[in-house]
Amino acid sequence: MNLAGVLPFARETLQKAVPLNGVAVDATAGNGHDTAFLAKLVGSKGTVYSFDIQEQAINATKDRLKQEQLEERVTLIQEGHETLSDHLLPDHQGHIDGAIFNLGYLPGSDKSVVTSSATTIEAIKQLLIHLKPKGIIVLVVYYGHEEGKIEKENLLPFVQSLPQHEFHVLEYRFTNQHNDPPFIIAIEKRKP
């Protein structure tokens, strides 16, 4: 297939936004794949903030970072992503290059612990304030479960309402696949 899948598209998009020595956010650490990816992008002098409410996710991410010798570049935070502004260093406020969310639940864990539209939208609002011009937020939306459908239904009107003169908002999805395939919402902050 010549078309990029959803996850490769997410990474390609972030590669364009997150430079060496940059600042990035993994809003849903999960098993640490995206945190490690972002840590490689920012390099040894960059910073990644990685959030998850589950201890299992923080520990899995910590282990992955240690294996790949990336732990010095990452601040792990076992709190909800809606607390982002409480954790940003002053030098990083208004200087985030990119962020990613993998919405839904942590694979292989308690499926009743899921992201919610209220906290996701609050985290996005904070990121929009702290995002640099040309910075990008990527949301991978998994909605093949009941809570995911609710989150999707609340999230889409919110991102569609973002002012066009301030943000570009893109949806990337395969429209002929069955079983509620994940899709991407990408938000780019325009130049002031």
Task: Write out pLDDT tens, residues 68-116.
Answer: 999 999 999 999 999 999 999 999 999 999 999 999 866 766 666 778 8
Place of tokens 């992955």: 64
Question: Do residues 152 and 114 touch, judged by C-beta distance below 8 A?
Answer: no
Instruction: Tokens for 40, please give them.
Output: 């490689």
Find the length of the chain: 192
CATH-assigned architecture of domain 6-189: 3-Layer(aba) Sandwich (3.40)
Residue 64 — very low, low, confident or very high, per pLDDT cuts 50/70/90?
Answer: very high
The reported pLDDT for the residue numbered 142 is: 87
* Distance from chain centroid for Cα 29: 9
Give me the residues paired with residue 159 across strands: none
**Statement: residue 48 has pLDDT above 90:** yes
Helix (H, G, I), strand (E, B) or coil at 78: coil
